[in-house]
Structure 1
């Protein structure tokens, strides 16, 4: 039997130093892969495009693990993540990010388990209950290389607010040297299996999962790639390296789904009066309701449309809604029945996921 040789530590460290570390995202079921020629009808396409996006105006609460110790991370690493949340918010988007001290209140539960890779669930899939309570993990120091660390935090938060990997954009036209890709990702520091590499690099997103019809190689959601992994476009055969930070297209698309919330433009709901929804698919409308008596109320959409509808307790909603329903993909209309208190103010947020024509849907309370 041949003697098993020990790995050369210097060679190992050199390999780690020159190879980028990647995020391994767990896409929701049905997200990947895209089937050639698939896309379905217009309703299916638009329902997929808006899947896993938060309602605009949502206050997303995040929390850092304090135990077990291996999940805790350093205060400097936590500071990088806080900075990344602030950078997304500074774009003027309608989402809020609030750090909470109670795990039970958190929508995002963040750990720093070293060696487990960096990853996050996509958008509202963070609310799915799993055996592993973490929804986001950072598997390496975010401060050893400050630029890379900040980009890593921006990238994972990008996933958490609903954005996929940009290098899997079908409009990129990337042709991979697949053998080289599998070999590179199987090596340190990623040590990925062939299945993980296929899921996170080789497979293409469905066209209805990406924002727009163009590719952004400078997106913070794009991996860097070393020379020899990309065959086409030829200009990237010697490597592809995003500029770093949030690109112009990142900024554009996050604002398109999460524009600034203007509470003064929210319409007042009056019982038994229909409010037409002059919205394009994917757009959102907010309504204010102040009941004059304490009783059960019902909110319902009408018309040939799919909508995600949620009711909150106050004009600046915090935390989870009182009630929520998504009728996407069904023949029913969104319907909420809740007990409300007289004199208190409530906000109804409604994202129209699909409608044949603007104005052919409405919402009413009674």
Structure 2
């Protein structure tokens, strides 16, 4: 990277902190937060690129002159992004990625507005973003910058910045960091620098039990920004590409799914949920009649539940519910059709008692 002023950084959008309406103990809170932005394993994340001149950001310079930053990218840029999705998928994970030509049908919506920085919403935060808006942007030429693309896709899968890991023990020369990032090429405010670098993320959001300075989710840093660990006073440059820990983490949260392990769900039959926190149970349901069904969990636990229809061998999302941190159970009420096959994925955040917990469709 050379000179610190040459380093461009990912500028994460700021989202409000989650508030809970019922008392949540520390162990339950930890279990919820570590999974809060992760997808249910097996989810197909459709992505699309904004095309044409109808999508842009209007910017105003210091003289009051306005210009447009178009969101469309070149074919080379789009191909570089496609290849980065393939690299994450090639690690043998359960998530699926599929390009769509319709941004309204996509979870991840990608722009290439130059000068606006590179960023992505983190994991399931993307659900709350209006369909005509981006959930990811590449603000400079990324054709030969695969690490930036892998980094932003990592965010889209739910992974935070690794250099903000409290287990890293990084002590910053804060004024040096603020001064460096206020200049070119980032031109960040103090608030942006604090949010993306100085701020420590919650220990509950951290992947793994230690710090990975080579993670694709880690920024590089120039000299005189880090006071300690002393070995990084002259700078920290993660190795290129996905680290061994990156690969281990993504496989931990999104292991490859063996469809032979799916459990058949029968109407009015209680299916025991015998999994640990962070694990997932996958169930198949083929209704014997067409009507409105309720799919519901029972017991003292926090879960996220997703219902999909199997269409041409692929799961198409229908509905979902997340009861974490609430005094209720996940429940989906929806009309299902005879002759169709449906998949119910349930991921467990936390179980508050040793008694049986289960799922039923009725």
Distance 2:300 2:320 in 1: 19
Tell me the residue number matched to 2:47: 62
Q: Is the 8 A contact 1:307 1:327 kept in 2?
A: yes
Question: Structure 1 131/181 Cα, relative in aligned 2: closer, same or farther at 3 Å?
Answer: farther
In structure 2, do the counterparts of structure 1 residues 236 and 199 end up closer, same or farther at CA, with 3 Å as the change threshold?
same
1:267 is aligned to 263
Structure 1 residue 276 displacement after superposition: 1.1
Matching residue within 209, 229, 239 for 2:225: 229
Once the two structures are TM-superposed, the CA of residue 173 in structure 1 deviates from its matched residue by: 0.2
Does the alignment pair 1:287 with 2:272? no
Quick check: 1:191 aligned with 2:173? Answer: no
Deviation at 1:19, TM superposition (A): 2.4
Q: Kindly indicate whether the alpha-carbon contact (under 8 Å) linking 2:94 and 2:256 is maintained by their aligned counterparts in 1.
A: yes
Q: Could you tell me how far 1:214 is from its partner in structure 2?
A: 0.4
Matched position secondary structure for 2:159: coil
- Structure 2 residue 71 is the aligned partner of structure 1 residue 86: no
Picking from 42, 56, 67, the partner of 2:27 is 42
Cα gap change, 1:110 to 1:228, in 2 (>3 Å):
same
Match of residue 299, structure 1, among 295, 298, 316: 295
Structure 1 position 67, deviation (Å): 2.3
Change in 2 beyond 3 A, CA 1:233/1:280? same
Instruction: Point out where structure 1 has 5 or more consecutive residues left out of the alignment.
Output: 1-13, 32-38
SS of the equivalent of 1:213 reads coil
Cα drift, residue 229 of structure 1: 0.3
Q: Could you tell me whether the CA contact under 8 Å between 1:279 and 1:359 is conserved in 2?
A: no
Cα 1:308–1:198 change in 2 (3 A) is same
Identify the residue that residue 308 of structure 1 maps to in structure 2: 304
SS at match of 2:276: coil
SS at 1:171 equivalent = helix
Q: 1:139 corresponds to which residue?
A: 139
Work out which of the residue numbers 154, 157, 162 in structure 1 matches 2:153: 157
**Per the alignment, in what secondary structure is the counterpart of residue 88 of structure 1?**
helix
Report the 3-state secondary structure (helix = DSSP H, G, I; strand = E; otherwise coil) of the residue aligned with 1:288.
strand
5+ residue gaps, structure 2: 19-23, 56-69
Alpha-carbon distance in 1 for matches of 2:35, 2:271 = 22
Are 2:315 and 2:343, in contact at CA under 8 Å, matched by a contact in 1? no
Q: Which has the higher strand share?
A: 2
CA distance in 2, matches of 1:314, 1:357: 34
Number of residue equivalences: 340
Distance in 1 (CA, whole Å) between partners of 2:140 and 2:332 is 44
Which deviations, in whole Å up to 9, do the C-alpha atoms of 1:95-137 show, x marking residues without a partner?
1110011121111110100000000000011111349701100
Q: CA deviation at 1:358?
A: 6.5
Cα deviation per residue 1:143-191 (whole Å; 9 max; x = unaligned)? 3xx2xx1000000000000000000000000000001100110110111
Paired position in structure 2 for 1:75: 75
The answer (yes or no) to whether the contact 1:277–1:359 under 8 Å persists in 2 is no
